[in-house]
Structure 1
């Protein structure tokens, strides 16, 4: 692994890491992280995936992880900025292996943003892991019980008070720029999520996507539901797409959950399934 410094389209510096494959790589994988999750979280998986013959890139969105400033108070960023950051990681990976396939492995938010990319033509496919629409009525039951308090009280009150969302103090999501959390709030309160909140331009952008999408839906996900995954997949209306459900019992494990797919205990269980998903992406079917 080696650390690299990228620049987003507006010149914002970003922290990224590249995990080189052993031998000639079969292609590139860019891991798009979940909301509030640092690239550190994917390090062991990225290292393992590189050992399977892929050149893997991880990165931190601006205002998060190693791409965060000393203080988030007043730091300007929204989810469109994060999409531009995703594009920068894709551009960097594509330039390194321009003639090889480039796949996105999107965890949660990381599978929601690719429909808004301007450089979709560089993407050969998307493996979506534990992702779906964030619309609150499609949240898992345990999340739905408290999410309206989160969106109508905690987020607006604490974001205004601190100048950013102090998720670490609240043990919710993580520290996020004000623009990111408030735009995400708008998305999650809309029945059509980002398509409904952002309007026709967002719908058209998702409709442009032609790369195949394979969504791995986790049966014991405490945040996302199958219905939410189906909604997100419907946004990619012109892309070949497929949903596969994965239950802990299939892998002989007690629990997977929303964040479990990238934990090291899945190295011999779910990780090979994800690697196989990448290999079979070109054959994804509606």
Structure 2
């Protein structure tokens, strides 16, 4: 579960970005940006944001990744940030549309950086979308990193958080259906979101399964066939994606070669960490990402 309070954080210096182009789907327009390396064959990391969190929030982490020699591509999820139109009554989409949008982003990257290996890095909901995309569209990326990203299935949470997650997700979905969209900007949770998205989210929270509205894809079966390298990073103090939740999501890709890491306050150098604050303290984490990408090129990974 995400909150849009993160979007109000200040934006520190970040490498200059260029607009690569627009991804269009019907009335929707998504602007794609890149912090590029001089070498066009440098690995490309596509950063897929969390629910309700604009791409600009990740500027400090983009800078960290860029310093590691990576080209970093950013964009806003459909219905939020710079993407148009914003989620509202009558604007209908769900997980499947976000997966299609990500595929369009990868089309654009393939055109601009044809020699660059491509990797997905998803935060929270963005990690779910990245992994689901990889399951549906095999061969498009070399690996997937999940940072503070886990299953929303209520039983994957510890203790009292089981009931809180179940009640909270179903209440949000019910309110979204009643109101015609989720006005998370008014409730301090998740930003403005389409009803279909919140219903897909709540269905997975309730059933543990990814059965997406309007999709004929058996995502649970497709996830079992994912074999690209998978990096999972849980974060100290993160109650929205605890280790048990991260493990439940990663276990769906049972044949992926998983590297599991836990990001602590000592490693980050921060006094406090959590579901969002790791973004402003991600230097050491960006080194993990770089090392993992380097290892993904080794023949032993693909043997």
Fold shared per TM-score above 0.5:
yes
- Between stretches 92-101 and 169-178, larger displacement belongs to 92-101
**Match 1:99 to one of 95, 115, 119:** 115
CA displacement, residues 149-178 of structure 1 (integer Å, 9 cap, x when unaligned):
423334313x23431100010011111011
Across the two proteins, how many residue pairs are aligned to each other? 282
TM-score normalised by structure 2 residue count: 0.82
Equivalence for 1:185 = 202
**Match 2:221 to one of 204, 229, 233:** 204
Q: CA contact under 8 A between 1:164 and 1:175: conserved in structure 2? A: yes
Per the TM alignment, residue 214 of structure 1 is displaced from its structure 2 partner at its CA by: 1.2
- Cα distance in 2 for residues equivalent to 1:30 and 1:193: 25
Q: Does 1:79 align with 2:95?
A: yes
- Cα distance in 2 for residues equivalent to 1:14 and 1:276: 30
**Match 1:128 to one of 146, 149, 155:** 146
- Between stretches 140-149 and 240-249, larger displacement belongs to 140-149
Per the TM alignment, residue 139 of structure 1 is displaced from its structure 2 partner at its CA by: 3.0
Equivalence for 1:160 = 177
Per the TM alignment, residue 23 of structure 1 is displaced from its structure 2 partner at its CA by: 4.3
CA displacement, residues 246-269 of structure 1 (integer Å, 9 cap, x when unaligned):
221334432221112211x433x4
Q: CA contact under 8 A between 2:41 and 2:117: conserved in structure 1? A: no
Equivalence for 1:272 = 287
- Cα distance in 1 for residues equivalent to 2:258 and 2:285: 20
Q: Does 1:58 align with 2:74?
A: yes
Per the TM alignment, residue 114 of structure 1 is displaced from its structure 2 partner at its CA by: 3.0
CA displacement, residues 169-193 of structure 1 (integer Å, 9 cap, x when unaligned):
0011111011111111111111x34
- Cα distance in 1 for residues equivalent to 2:127 and 2:88: 25
Q: CA contact under 8 A between 2:154 and 2:163: conserved in structure 1? A: no
Moved over 6 A (4+): 195-200
In angstroms, what is the RMSD of aligned CA positions? 2.7
Q: Name stretches of at least 5 consecutive residues in structure 2 with no aligned partner.
A: 1-16
- Cα distance in 1 for residues equivalent to 2:56 and 2:243: 28
1:60–1:200 CA distance, 2 compared to 1 (3 A): closer
- Between stretches 252-261 and 230-239, larger displacement belongs to 252-261
Q: CA contact under 8 A between 2:29 and 2:84: conserved in structure 1? A: no
1:143–1:59 CA distance, 2 compared to 1 (3 A): farther
Per the TM alignment, residue 104 of structure 1 is displaced from its structure 2 partner at its CA by: 0.9
Equivalence for 2:52 = 36
1:253–1:43 CA distance, 2 compared to 1 (3 A): closer
TM-score normalised by structure 1 residue count: 0.87
Secondary structure class of the residue paired with 2:122: strand
- Cα distance in 1 for residues equivalent to 2:142 and 2:87: 37
Q: CA contact under 8 A between 1:6 and 1:88: conserved in structure 2? A: no
Equivalence for 2:230 = 213
Q: Name stretches of at least 5 consecutive residues in structure 1 with no aligned partner.
A: none
